[in-house]
Chains A and B, each alone.
Chain A
Amino acid sequence: MAVPVIAAPSQTAAPRRERASGLWPALAAPGIVWLLLCFVFPLYVVLCIVFGQVDPLFRTPIPVWNPVQWDPSQFNYVLTHIVGADGIFGPALVRTAVFVFAASSLCLLIAFPVAYYVARLSGRRKGLLLALLIAPFWISYMMRMFAWVNLLQNDGIVNKVLSFGGLFTMHVDWLTGQPVVVILGLVYGYVPYMILPLYAGLDRLSQPMLEASRDLGADRFSSFWRVTLPLCRPTILAAVLLTCLPMLGDYFTSDMLSASPKTAMVGNLINDSVHAPGRTGQAGAFVMLVFLVALLPMLYYIRATSRRDEVAS
């Protein structure tokens, strides 16, 4: 009697799974179709416009759908104007790299200690602190930038505080093309996106491992350097990527806090050319450039998260 009871599930389960095989594709189909139509196809349209023609009269872009007939002249125009004598786009690209690097380093410098404290040492106050850390997520980015516009105006609080209530005359024009202000704005805007993944990683860190390292004679620093850091290296990388990638396409922070071409980033190049007649192809070319630069980090991030899912399941 016992044998068929054990054998039965596997025998009946197999045909059931077979029957179910049509269900899962049917569930996934709307999402797949949506992603193909509204995600993959638009990216292809960008290519068709970058390598397409421009209407000689109206200066509107004419997409060329056949890759064989693609004309690289618009893309070449952008590439040849990055370096050299007519390198009009070069400074903004270099600035983007510098701003993103500086801002994400500062983000990490702030985010790591905060996430470490809240995840591992805050004890009973953890829930409250975490709620406060998450709060900036639900405050519109524009509102947070606008808050700084208020503070940094010529008669704003920052200048008032710096002049100690009229003791000195401090009138710094913070909002007219100061690179430092834009970098700090980027840090302010994106640091919550770094803290949360770091918190999640540090929260999962194995406590027995750290205790073992101390028991085996490591002091505070070498235990941190040789156990904690290696254990959370993937987390740190993922957190840095999650902040760097949106920063690459940022143009509004510079617009809000400086509104000057002196702090223009590649996002501003896209934003300025996208509505300009005859320069739509340029905007597309910059979109492609950012996409190519972001591609490797994005692939790394996707691989890391997929691998984690496999381990989890």
Chain B
Amino acid sequence: MRSPVAWWNDPWRPPRFLVGITIGYLAWSLLPVAIAVLYSFNNGRSRTTWQGFSLRWYWGDATLSVWHNDALHTALIQTLKLGVVTTLITVPLGVLFAIGIDRWRGRLPAGANFLMLLSFVLPEVLLAVALLFVITTIALPIDLGTTAQVIGLITFQVSYPAVLVRARLATIGPQYEEAAMDLGASPLGALRRIILPMLMPAIFASTVLVFADVIDDFVLVRYLSGDAATEPVSVKIYNTARGAPTPALNALATLLLLAALTAVVIGFLVYRYLTRGDTTTKDRGIGAFAGEV
């Protein structure tokens, strides 16, 4: 048995305390969700007492299951619709914006960059209320509902691809583009044939991240939803969580979780394929994918 002093002075002793905190944290952060997923397979109405395994709340139950209940599957479809439409508009908008801002020097692009970063850190509820005011007090051809939700989500998410693409542009540097232009390419040609292919991993990662973020969004989509038909899953959970819901709500949340995780896992695998042999993202793995830059 070593003396405590020797143990304390040993620089190679395993960091037990930190391991303990990390494992404890992971259990605390993931177990409640795992339990909620588990109870979506419960055979009874309870969300707290296990009564056997069944798929009753997914499609077995003829009126209350996700498959058969209109309100629940409308919510799921609305969520996925918002995710796809928002992503398709946000990513090109953000990527072009980032390239333009990065190359264009002056006060105007600096101000635009400031606005973009401000929209990144502004508490979401402020933007949501502001957009709600715009739509309810000004006679616009836009009503509360899917269009308003998409507009709000694009505004809130556009900084995501912009930040990721700018970070990638900074690591690429100007030399490839200059080489292409010295060899006779026009600025647009160099952009299209050199820079865009090199940006592909960042663009792809931001596509996946925006999609996963949008389908989890709550604040904006709730304020800008029109009627019950445009309420996505997160709003449905918020509205019914405290009013004795059935495990069908767990099932709905589980399906949402599944959609987000599938998108992210597929995204990560494709991202790894796109960045194979790339030294700047090597060894960074999932961290580089998640955009910690």
Contacts and interface: CB of A to CB of B under 8 A. Distances in A.
A153 B26 CA distance: 23
A86 interface: no
A209 B15 CA distance: 20
Contacts of A140: 215-216, 218, 233-234, 237, 253, 256-257, 260
Interface residues of B, number: 98
Given A16-B181, A175-B242, A298-B118, A150 B35 contact: yes
Contacts, number: 304
Given A143-B33, A309-B170, A20 B187 contact: yes
Interface string A294-313: 10001001100110010011
Interface stretch (B52-60, B62-70, B100-108): B100-108
Interface string A29-64: 111101110111111011001000000000011110
Interface string B160-189: 001000110111010000100110001110
Interface in A202-251: 203, 241-242, 245-246, 248-251
Interface stretch (A66-74, A75-83, A125-133, A166-174): A125-133
Contacts of B181: 13, 16
B198 interface: no
B80 interface: no
B33 A139 contact: yes
A45 B33 contact: no
Nearest to A26: B100
B96 interface: yes
A200 B291 CA distance: 10
Contacts of B275: none
Contact of B112 (A28, A62, A141, A192): A28
Interface in A98-147: 110, 113-114, 116-118, 121-122, 127, 129-147
Contacts of B104: 21, 24-25, 28
B100 A150 contact: no
Interface string B1-43: 0000000000000010111011001101110110110010000
Contacts of B154: 34, 38
Q: Helix, strand, loop or mixed for chain B's interface? A: helix
A125 B140 CA distance: 54
Nearest to B263: A138
Of B29, B114, B264, the most chain A CB neighbours within 10 A belong to B29
B28 to A, nearest CB: 8
Given A63-B137, A127-B286, A280-B133, A150 B22 contact: no
A255 B237 CA distance: 12
Interface string B217-239: 01100010000000001100110
Given A28-B96, A312-B167, 6 more contacts: A24-B100, A28-B104, A132-B26, A142-B218, A149-B242, A287-B130
Interface of B: 15, 17-19, 21-22, 25-26, 28-30, 32-33, 35-36, 39, 47-49, 93-94, 96-97, 99-101, 103-104, 108-109, 112-119, 121-127, 129-134, 137-138, 151-152, 154-155, 158, 162, 166-167, 169-171, 173, 178, 181-182, 186-188, 191, 212, 215-216, 218-219, 223, 233-234, 237-238, 241-242, 249-250, 253, 256-257, 260-261, 264, 285-287, 290, 292-293
17 contacts: A16-B181, A27-B99, A28-B96, A29-B100, A31-B101, A32-B112, A34-B93, A39-B118, A46-B129, A62-B137, A63-B137, A132-B30, A139-B260, A140-B215, A140-B260, A203-B292, A312-B171
A-B residue pairs, 10 tightest by C-beta: A28-B100, A31-B97, A249-B123, A27-B100, A249-B125, A42-B130, A24-B104, A20-B187, A200-B292, A117-B18
